[in-house]
Amino acid sequence: MAKERKIGAYICRGCGIGQALDADRLEEVAAREGRANLVRQHDFLCAPEGVETIRADLASGEVSDVVVCACSGRAMTSTFRFDGVAVARANLREGVVWSRARKGESSALADAGSSDSSERGEIPAKTGETTGEAEVSSSERETMQEMADDHIRMACTEIRFMTPPSPSLEQTLNRTILVVGGGISGMTAALESARAGYSVTIVEKSATLGGFAARLWKRIPDRSPCEAPVDPGIATLVSEVSVHERITVETSSKISRTSGSPGKFKVTIERCDPASGDDGSTGSRTETFGAIIQATGFTPFDPSHIPELGYAASGDVVTSSELEALALAAKGEALVRPSDAKPIKSVLFVQCAGQRSSKPGHLSYCSGYCCAASIKQAMYFQDADPSIETVVLYSDMRTPGSGGEDFYRSGQSRGIVFTKGETSAISAAGEGGGARVRYRDLILDEEVERDFDLVVLATGMVANAGVDSEANDTKTDEPDTNASAPAAIEIPVESILNLTYRQGPDLPHLAHGFADSHFICFPYETRRTGIYAAGPVRRPMDIAQAREDATGSAMKAIQAIENAGRGRAAHPRSGDLSFPKVRYDGCTQCKRCTVECPFGAIDEDEKRYPLFNESRCRRCGTCMGACPVRVISFENYSIDTVGQQIKSVEIPDETENKPRILVLACENDAWPALDMAARLRRSWSVFARVIPIRCLGSVNTIWVTDALNAGYDGVMLMGCKSGENYQCHFVKGSEMAQYRMTKIDDTLEQLGLEKERVITHEVAITDIERAPRLINEMERTIARIGPSPLKF
Amino acid sequence: MSENNNEMIERYRGNFLREVEDNVEEGEWVKMCMQCGVCSGSCPLGPHWDFGPQTLFMMIRAGKRDEVLAAEGPWMCTSCYNCIVRCPRELPITHIMHGLAHYAVRMGLAPKNQPTRKFSDLFWKNLKADGRVNELRLGISLYFMHGFVDGIKTALKKAPLGLGMVRTKRMNPMEFFGGHKVRDRKGFHRMLEKAEEIESARIEKGPRPGAE
């Protein structure tokens, strides 16, 4: 606050605010308590004339910072954005006027909200200005006015601790993309990026491009009519990639080091000749890339350690990927039995082999592609000779994708027999070769034992996601499935990216060894900004899905590059220029920020201070919430911008029976839910004071203790769902908050307060009815336990 | 008939699904069943069957020839068409059930004392005689379906109903001795003979045309 600041507060009377509230009193609050240098009222602030008033004041130098006292900060964002000017919003419309329960609501108010006119900025009809108002009692009017007064105080306080964020000038624009993995996902991502004008380097571990799909004879069709297996199309893709002028291919190579951040990833690519020994390094070079796409695919599950699958017992039991190899070698000729080269008359496909089971050594998940793959392989036999008996033994037929069901039908009409059953044992059949299968027919409810010439195990996908950097922390609450299944899960132990990040060398895993990719809300986002996972490395999928995935990740990589070049945050605060600033002289090197950052954006410098990497940062503020000495802040979001707002609220005397409930609502889900609830005229407690926050993870416990010390009767935290099926936009933010809040009980005890006074809720954006209800419940809780003893 | 049966067993060598596809009306649909069970769940008589359509289709695929052809299930179908309406795979289930029943009779494996089967026989005989269903005679033959004593008992029990019907002119007792007939009885019989001739010629020829 070095330069002189002139705060201008603009109070809008549109959308029913003027009818419901005393604008003159608001003006007085803004001027006296909010210490605004200039206060103006306007009937319709978002109209061109209203905005022009603000612009004129800014241009004349009368005002340097703007407080808009009108609608929610989520509405009219572009209208009230002024370049280089800090803007605070007092939420009078959704936060106060629209969220009040009133009997005999005035028709003018109802109209203003139910039609879209308010959003479009039309002046609502004023005809009913006085009707209905009489039915609002003066005390109700007063509590509502108090609520509005507090919103003005909060916004005027916030602005004084804010500065407009500006680019740090640390940015680099680097329009090159590194694609790790030269399979179908990697090649698709490379081609899509190159077609968009970005230079691409593909690093492939093996000697040729193509990946798993290159070892297929045919693939599952994904275009209508989806009746027969089609050519994998790898040759075409490889040639397209090879001739593209903006694509460089590095085969027999791997990545030995990755440092930096989006826009300036420094990557060491090591060429290795497998012929020349163990490591076989034959030189390396370092290049700079703007973004990275990790398309490292999967390894087929190895069933040899599951005795009941009989994989080791009989040569005529093969996995589906081995059958592909046989089919590829046969080139359409009739397949023969692997053990004795005799013709095959009967084949059994065992679905979910070593999958979808909680037994030790099995994969617990469905790999999604195996049902259609088995149908495809059964067609190999049926098409060669319709008299071959092909049986698919399934427990649930799952053929995702638009053509999946057609393909299943096509298989049935060709005479493939589908039997619902569960395999119990597979063994060698004896003298004549083949395999003996025992299974339970689940429809006929009986045990069956039969010999087949060939048994194909439809095994699943194990992700090549590298090292799980979080394997040893915070997962203790999970049942220990991994420990009992060591051989199955631990196939890729070598790091893929070799990141020099403090938080580990690879993308963190979510579950079952797949890379965490925010699979519920934003599938391509990972927890390492600028590095995007595509294909089966992030979840099991088939070729059609992998190609779509690769295209999406190319788009995200391009966004990351362009954002990084402008110093702007990537998803979800796209375009945000604010960036954590640290007061290093206060830092105690506790390292909580470096550990808790969901995106691994913070490393350590040589003096062991946190080292922030701007373009890796997603601006969630989790570091700020974590910091026990509160030295981390953003220009427009800090301990003070929220903390001082909390303190600016007027706390009535306990005899007045007007409790105060602080609601810290996540701006991504809980706050929009409340806004929408207000638009639907759902009401919540008039005693609540809602402050939007970037993420629950940014909540520093000082806010909670300050609020309680100031005499608030209760504190509510509303954030997104955490845990394995998280919906937090910043992945770990709400989880961190939950964890921190488990420790708040001690603080409450020290203060001599009841535990019920602080509560954390998981609120989804769809909880439009629930979110206001939760606030009302809190009001009842406070009524039950009585006012806070800390009021004075 | 058992000779016929042996011939079929010989011809299909345990591939009952193929046998059904070739010989049962609409049998080529059986392989398209996806075992969702909506048919069995929708059947109003479902709880009274030994095997519902879903199970029967699975049994056909599993090659359980004797069990399927001796099953009571196909005879319990009342042609309400609930299953056809609801089948997500659009299988003509009702027709397949009747096709299976018919084929079971042909193979001599249909359940002997199944009441609906007996009723079907009686109905057909009754109709074939004069080209019209003689309801009085059909009713009486149903009374005696399970033997003479049982028939007398049922007849006595139903006597008030019958007398009431006579009194209100709903039933003419003289129908027992003749009744309505088609105008050209001989022509009608010749027609049936011709139809039977065509059908047996088709069976003689082997798989139905159009079947795989």
Distance from CA of B3 to the nearest CA of A (A): 26
pLDDT number for residue A118:
42
pLDDT digit string, tens, across residues A397-421: 999 888 899 999 999 999 999 999 9
> A9 versus A282: which is more confidently predicted?
A9
> A742 versus A152: which is more confidently predicted?
A152
B7 CB neighbour count, 10 Å cutoff: 11
CB nearest to B62's CB, from A412, A413, A444: A444
Q: What is the CATH number of domain A637-792?
A: 3.40.50
Burial class (CB in 10 A: 0-12, 13-18, 19+), A735: buried
Q: How far is CA A615 from the centre of its chain?
A: 18
Q: Are A601 and A592 in contact (CB under 8 A)?
A: no
How is residue A215 written in tokens?
């070892």
How is residue B176 written in tokens?
């027992």
Q: What is the CATH number of domain A302-459?
A: 3.50.50.60
pLDDT number for residue A133:
44
How is residue A622 written in tokens?
């989790």
Which residues in chain B touch residue A420, judged by CB atoms under 8 angstroms apart?
35, 58
Looking at the domain B2-111, which fold is it? Fumarate Reductase Iron-sulfur Protein; Chain B, domain 2 (1.10.1060)
Tell me which of A351, A407, A418, A445 to substitute to probe the interface with B (most B C-beta atoms closer than 10 Å).
Answer: A418
Burial class (CB in 10 A: 0-12, 13-18, 19+), A220: buried
pLDDT number for residue A749:
87
Question: At residue A728, does pLDDT exceed 70?
Answer: yes
Name the least confident of A2-11, A287-296, B58-67: A2-11
Tell me which of A345, A417, A437, A450 to substitute to probe the interface with B (most B C-beta atoms closer than 10 Å).
Answer: A417
Q: How far is CA A576 from the centre of its chain?
A: 18
Cβ within 8 Å, pair A413-B31: yes
pLDDT digit string, tens, across residues B64-90: 999 999 999 999 999 999 999 999 999
CB nearest to A420's CB, from B17, B32, B35: B35
pLDDT number for residue A784:
93
pLDDT digit string, tens, across residues B43-58: 998 888 889 999 999 9
Q: In this structure, are strands A454-457 and A346-350 parallel, antiparallel, or unpaired?
A: parallel
CB nearest to A417's CB, from B34, B61, B89: B61
pLDDT number for residue A471:
67
For residue A480, what pLDDT band results from cuts at 50, 70 and 90? very low
**Nearest residue to A496 (alpha-carbon basis) of A261, A213, A292, A294:** A294
Question: At residue A278, does pLDDT exceed 80?
Answer: no
- Give CA–CA dist A413/A390, Å, rounded: 12
Which residues in chain A touch residue B56, judged by CB atoms under 8 angstroms apart?
none
Cβ within 8 Å, pair A412-B58: no
How is residue B184 written in tokens?
């050209």
How is residue B172 written in tokens?
């003419």
Question: At residue A75, does pLDDT exceed 70?
Answer: yes
Q: Where are the domains of chain A?
A: 1-164, 176-299+463-565, 302-459, 581-630, 637-792
Distance from CA of B70 to the nearest CA of A (A): 16
- Give CA–CA dist A604/B102, Å, rounded: 83
Cβ within 8 Å, pair B54-A441: no
The runs of H, that is alpha helices, within A649-790 are 670-679, 701-710, 733-742, 744-751, 770-785
Task: Give A269-278 contacts, CB < 8 A, sequence gap 24+.
Answer: A269/A201, A269/A203, A274/A207
Q: Where are the domains of chain B?
A: 2-111, 115-194
pLDDT number for residue A744:
87
Question: At residue A101, does pLDDT exceed 80?
Answer: no
Question: At residue A10, does pLDDT exceed 90?
Answer: yes
Chain A residues with CB-CB distance to B under 8 A?
A: 397, 408-409, 412-413, 415, 417-420, 441, 443-444, 448
For residue A656, what pLDDT band results from cuts at 50, 70 and 90? confident
Cβ within 8 Å, pair A443-B58: yes
Report percent pLDDT > 90 for chain A.
Answer: 73
Burial class (CB in 10 A: 0-12, 13-18, 19+), A400: middle
Question: At residue A125, does pLDDT exceed 70?
Answer: no
Q: How far is CA A677 from the centre of its chain?
A: 24
Q: Are A673 and A767 in contact (CB under 8 A)?
A: yes
Overall CATH class of domain A176-299+463-565: alpha beta
Q: For A245, how many CA atoms within 13 A lie in the half-sphere containing its CB? A: 2
Q: Are A185 and A550 in contact (CB under 8 A)?
A: yes
Distance from CA of B112 to the nearest CA of A (A): 24
DSSP-derived secondary structure for B14-48: T-HHHHHHHHSTTGGGGGG-----HHHHH-TTGGG
Mean pLDDT for all residues in chain B: 89
Which residues in chain A touch residue B64, judged by CB atoms under 8 angstroms apart?
444
Distance from CA of B2 to the nearest CA of A (A): 27
Q: Are A398 and A351 in contact (CB under 8 A)?
A: no
List the single residue in B with minimal CA-CA distance to A406. Answer: B89
Q: Find out whether the peptide bond into B111 is cis, omega within 30 degrees of 0.
A: no
Distance from CA of B55 to the nearest CA of A (A): 6
For residue A120, what pLDDT band results from cuts at 50, 70 and 90? very low
- Domain A581-630 sits in CATH 3.30.70.1170: no
Cβ within 8 Å, pair B55-A412: no
Q: What angle do CA A640, A645, A649 make, to 5 degrees?
A: 145
Distance from CA of B52 to the nearest CA of A (A): 11
Tell me which of B35, B36, B39, B90 to substitute to probe the interface with A (most A C-beta atoms closer than 10 Å).
Answer: B35
- Give CA–CA dist B96/B77, Å, rounded: 10
pLDDT number for residue A476:
40
Q: Are B59 and B67 in contact (CB under 8 A)?
A: yes
Which residue in the block uniquely carries the two structure tokens 């003996």? A436
Per CATH, A176-299+463-565 and A637-792 having the same topology is answered no
- Give CA–CA dist A321/A311, Å, rounded: 13
What are the distances in angstroms from CA A676 to CA A75, A457, A639? 11, 51, 28
Distance from CA of A402 to the nearest CA of B (A): 16
pLDDT digit string, tens, across residues B176-207: 887 788 899 999 999 999 999 998 888 777 66
**Nearest residue to A293 (alpha-carbon basis) of A568, A619, A538:** A538
Q: Are B65 and B21 in contact (CB under 8 A)?
A: no
pLDDT number for residue A365:
94
pLDDT number for residue A275:
61
List the single residue in B with minimal CA-CA distance to A411. Answer: B32
Strand-by-strand arrangement of the A7-12 sheet: A38-42, A7-12, A65-70, A87-91
Q: How far is CA A629 from the centre of its chain?
A: 29
Which residues in chain A touch residue B35, judged by CB atoms under 8 angstroms apart?
418, 420, 443
pLDDT number for residue A477:
41
pLDDT number for residue B209:
46
Looking at the domain A1-164, which fold is it? Rossmann fold (3.40.50)
Query: Average pLDDT for residues B207-211, to the nearest whole number?
Result: 50
Q: Are A93 and A117 in contact (CB under 8 A)?
A: no
CB nearest to A413's CB, from B32, B58, B62: B32
Torsions phi, psi for B148 (to 5 deg): -70, -50
Which residues in chain B touch residue A413, judged by CB atoms under 8 angstroms apart?
31-32
**b/e A378-398 (16+ beta carbons within 10 angstroms → b):** bbbbbebeeebbbbbbbeebb
CB nearest to A441's CB, from B31, B34, B62: B62
- Give CA–CA dist A343/A338, Å, rounded: 10
Question: At residue A425, does pLDDT exceed 60?
Answer: yes
Tell me which of A441, A443, A447 to substitute to probe the interface with B (most B C-beta atoms closer than 10 Å).
Answer: A443
Which residues in chain B touch residue A451, judged by CB atoms under 8 angstroms apart?
none
Question: At residue A629, does pLDDT exceed 60?
Answer: yes
Q: What angle do CA B41, B42, B46 make, to 5 degrees?
A: 65
Cβ within 8 Å, pair A413-B89: no
Chain B residues with CB-CB distance to A under 8 A?
A: 17, 31-32, 34-35, 54-55, 58-59, 61-62, 64, 89, 212
List the single residue in A with minimal CA-CA distance to B53. Answer: A443
pLDDT digit string, tens, across residues A743-767: 888 888 888 899 999 999 999 999 9
pLDDT number for residue A276:
57
CB nearest to B58's CB, from A412, A415, A444: A444
Q: How far is CA A299 from the centre of its chain?
A: 25
Cβ within 8 Å, pair B61-A415: no
- Give CA–CA dist A53/A30, Å, rounded: 18
Question: Residue B20 is which amino acid?
Answer: V
Question: At residue A136, does pLDDT exceed 50?
Answer: yes
Question: At residue A646, does pLDDT exceed 90?
Answer: yes
Query: Average pLDDT for residues A634-638, to the nearest whole number?
Result: 93
Distance from CA of A399 to the nearest CA of B (A): 12
> A680 versus A172: which is more confidently predicted?
A680
Mean pLDDT for all residues in chain A: 88
- Give CA–CA dist B212/B208, Å, rounded: 9
Question: At residue B151, does pLDDT exceed 60?
Answer: yes
Which residues in chain A touch residue B59, judged by CB atoms under 8 angstroms apart?
444
For residue A272, what pLDDT band results from cuts at 50, 70 and 90? confident
Task: Give B147-150 contacts, CB < 8 A, sequence gap 24+.
Answer: none
Question: At residue A283, does pLDDT exceed 60?
Answer: yes
Q: Count how many pairs of residues, chain A against chain B, have C-beta atoms within 8 Å.
A: 34
- Give CA–CA dist B43/B59, Å, rounded: 18
Which residue in the block uniquely carries the two structure tokens 């509560």? A759
Distance from CA of A411 to the nearest CA of B (A): 9
